[in-house]
Structure 1
């Protein structure tokens, strides 16, 4: 087998590698084997990563037994609930591309032959898929499972519930003589819930970004069939880890590359899957970034927009509906969802399992008719992920809806403009936002933020005042994948800082939202708009060398907010 990692025996590369690797205990007879990077994002900051070292250890044994030579490599890895504390959460999205670059530096620098990626929290899966598309060496994604939660084990809360309650805790009225004691009692009760919400390692329970991206990886064909969602450290997870090692060995032997798997057809299959399960809205920009890095000429935003109108929703998992992620796994998970969607999918797409998607799905069990339903008897025929375009979002925007959607599906009202979530929350507390207004928070997109400010706390503030269903929220920033209260529209593109119409909106301008038609429009005479001064983002309160570099190189959401000089639809 011709391998790029093997250099002429007398070359400096070969001799110095031998010196390094033999000193680490590697048998010299193994040095000509295919060299595999185990991409590990383990750290001690969050439960998401706490079990990855154990997975890496098993993979080393499996890969060696298959005739491969594994090397464990580490990268950056954010946790939304931990890493969002600094710089307003702007290190979270920006870390996705840092992961991709970390992988390139280590794998390309060492000229390794293949990768197996331990994908866990929100940004690691897209970062790994982007690296696979960029480097184009045999790669398998391993979804590493979700955490045991209090809600699934007889308790009252999972991390989603804690997130929602904590966001509203500081907005409650604790006036009056007994106010301090009520506040202390409420905080103690919240702490008690928090202490029992997470009961093991793994990503957040529920169909937020992490589990959505795990399922998207399987739909893309980049993870073995039946690997997502999965309970962390369960027998099913260990089985998928072992099968992933065997799949990688086969890919290396046949020299099957990611760009043979990540195609316009497979990305479209992943889009269908996210629409069918009501996955996180963050999957749009992540799948667009994966397509861009893999050189796939596909407008993922428009694909979500058009397919959303013809893709029934076949399950309703928290935070979209009543069922738990455990219910989805037990009903067959992504494999069963894909089987039910098969008439809408391209079954000829290649997968890391070895065969075409259709062959893999023939072995999946059918839906149970309750948790995973059929196309003929879906949970809903209105999309849970709605991509909108219009005069206020010519390149797109996105809204997340519950399943089924209770409405309203349209809204028209005057704009109330803010430039940070804190400014917006202050307006809510001071009753300066009224039912019927359209709240706009702008200047916090991928460039203006940079790296997309998070406005979920503003949505929770509206909910705390009983306004979430009566005040739509529009932003060029983002909302958590857990948020689908009222009408929330995020990731408006072009963003205000890039010259988008959002930057020209003034208080009182009429804004219209039509979710059924996928429209987001500003009703201001174009001639008047042309006279308004261009938007100038507020000066940042503090600076960061990394985020300044990110701002200078990040591309628009139309190409997935990847870094570097890339076109909106093409690859590098």
Structure 2
């Protein structure tokens, strides 16, 4: 085959690259982008320069030429500081554009993406589908956490504890004592929050070296996988094995099964839908979610689902062991990054501890762990996280709405005891166009409902999105269309009856259609300029995965 990087060579291009130290022989080799989101702003990315070095060495040893390029690096707890966290999800869509503007513009032959915090895995998958050049993702790994008096503590304890202490509720360990212990090194948040969920999704899609997720950041295992990826990507270029050959409809089925099986983050749904859209793949991930959820039980209870630590999950076999347990429910004929079928790749997969990752015949909980609802309140979609279905959270609720357009107002009402039991707490103006989209506002409300002792006595409905760490009570998030786009949630008034029935996959606003049509919607807009303003103007509905309407 003729490499496109060679076909694009010109005297000026050759001169530029020779000035960088490349030889005439190098100019005839596969050119591989090493996409790095290293950043000194956030510990999630702080170690990636070291990973890039290993990947580049492996690419050179395999006969390729690496070019390291950089992208934006969204980190929820750091770049969520401004505009109520509105830059977090908007940052995801900068990543594929950053990659396109460098890797596609230079007509490179393949890429290895160093994937870490929540938004880089979907950003990398979206870019892989868009560019459709041979691509592998390297899992950056999860951060170590510490202990206090022998009790492990991590970022989840800090997130929930901060809200609880604001309500005067103090746990065994004070937040100020947890701060220096919760994060003890580089990598993503512990637990089966969005980052580790998406790392497992990458494995299920077949877009990494088999057995890569999850992994301890900066471990020997992580670096071994990075070296293997650097060697494999050169082979993939020569074999012309592309993302759209791997990320087929069957692969998305497998990814949905993975997330249901580990009770992962609800954010995986929109990220997978966005990836499908970028690949022009005609698949409704939201519909797929319920189809798969009806068959796949929960096999592992990693925090926040249960007491299992992410280290225990990795040591038990990780995502690959989950795929092996789910083998009979997967499409195992799909091609994965090795060039083999998933069935062939799983032939030697090992489960180390069946108490951590259970067999399908003896699950921790029946499925679905996550369900997509529809109804008169959410004509397009809404998402509910059920987790371990042990009866501790209601799955059916009917009550009068208590409506808020402002996060601080609802937090104050909860703190003052002004939210009655039996209410459906509606918090809107939290969506894609109104902001903050992925910001922490809705997540803070969820922890506040729990701190107020109302998790079993109220339902919480929002057009905002939740942190992957959130799993409390009956919460329906990502209601679409959002309020400021004319969705019914923008027309709900105090006292309107809302009914939620998870078994029926429904969420209904019991208001006559004619009356609802006559009401003015609450817009809840937060005007913005710059990139954020462009994002809010052009972002499509949640049911598209929140992609930009004009993706170029």
Give the TM-score taking structure 1 as reference length.
Answer: 0.93
Change beyond 3 A, Cα 1:196–1:452: closer
Q: Give the corresponding residue for 2:261.
A: 276
Superposition pairs of residues 278-297 of structure 1, within 5 angstroms: 278-297=263-282
The question of whether the paired residues in 2 share the 8 Å contact of 1:34 and 1:68 is answered with: yes
SS at match of 1:397: strand
Q: Is the 8 A contact 1:320 1:401 kept in 2?
A: no
2:181 to 196, 209, 212: 196
Could you tell me how far apart the structure 2 residues matched to 1:485 and 1:289 are? 27
User: Is residue 2:237 matched to residue 1:252?
Assistant: yes
| Inter-partner Cα distance in structure 2 for 1:500 and 1:60 | 48
1:491 aligns with 2:478: yes
| Residue 516 of structure 1, CA deviation | 2.2
Decide whether the 8 Å contact of 2:254 with 2:330 is kept in 1: yes
Q: Could you tell me which of 208, 215, 218 is aligned with 1:223?
A: 208
Q: In the alignment, what sits opposite 1:21?
A: 17
Distance 1:477 1:353 in 2: 38
1:564 is displaced (CA, Å) by 2.5
Contact (CA 8 Å) 1:309, 1:382: kept in 2 or not? Answer: yes
Could you list the per-position Cα deviations for residues 135-192 of structure 1 after superposition, in whole angstroms to 9, with x for gaps in the alignment? 000000111111111159944411111111122333328xxxxxxxxx9xx9994222
Alignment-derived partner of residue 459 in structure 1 = 446
Is the Cα contact below 8 Å between 1:288 and 1:299 reproduced in 2? yes
| Separation of aligned partners in 2, 1:526 and 1:496 | 16
Distance 2:524 2:126 in 1: 32
Residues in 2 aligned to 1:21 and 1:154: alpha-carbon distance in whole angstroms: 55
Decide whether aligned partners of structure 1 residues 381 and 189 sit closer, same or farther in structure 2, where only a CA change above 3 A counts: closer
Q: Give the structure 2 partner of residue 425 of structure 1.
A: 411
Mapped partners of 1:536, 1:274: distance in 2? 34
Give the conservation status (yes or no) of the 8 Å contact 2:241–2:339. no
Q: Which residue is equivalent to 1:436?
A: 422
The structural deviation recorded for 1:26 is: 2.2
Residue in 2 that maps onto 1:177? none
The superposition leaves residues 400-429 of structure 1 with CA deviations (integer Å, 9 ceiling, x where unpaired) of 123243231111100011112112112212
Q: Deviations over 1:369-409 (max 9, x none)?
A: 21011110001113221211111112111111232432311
Give the match for residue 3 of structure 1: 3
Asked if the contact 1:167–1:457 (Cα under 8 Å) also holds between the matched residues in 2, the reply is: yes
Contact (CA 8 Å) 1:340, 1:367: kept in 2 or not? no
Q: 1:153 to 1:389 in 2, by over 3 A?
A: farther
**Contact between 1:331 and 1:372, CA under 8 Å: does it hold in 2?**
yes
Kindly report which structure 2 residues correspond to 1:119-198, keeping only aligned pairs within 5 A, or say none: 119-151=115-147, 154-172=150-168, 189-198=174-183
Structure-2 residue corresponding to 1:321: 306
How far, CA to CA, are the matches of 1:477 and 1:38 in structure 2? 34
Q: Secondary structure at the match of 1:393?
A: coil
Whole-angstrom CA distance in 1 between matches of 2:175 and 2:259:
32
Alignment check: 8 A CA contact 1:39 1:116 kept? yes
Gaps of 5+ in 2: none
Give how far 1:473 is off: 0.8
Cα drift, residue 357 of structure 1? 0.4
Distance 1:420 1:393, change over 3 A: same
* Equivalent-residue separation in structure 1 for 2:438 and 2:404 (angstroms): 15
Return the TM-score normalized by structure 2: 0.96
Encode CA deviations 1:195-218: one digit per residue, 9 max, x unaligned.
012122111110000000000011
Q: Distance in 1 between matches of 2:46 and 2:438?
A: 27
Residue segments in structure 1 that go unaligned for 5+ positions in a row: 174-182, 567-571
Query: What's the offset of the Cα at 1:538?
Result: 3.2
Corresponding residue for 1:415? 401
- The answer to whether 1:506 aligns with 2:493 is yes
1:56-95 to 2 correspondences below 5 Å: 56-95=52-91
Work out the CA distance in 2 between the residues paired with 1:558 and 1:269. Answer: 20
Query: Displacement of 1:530 after TM fit?
Result: 1.9
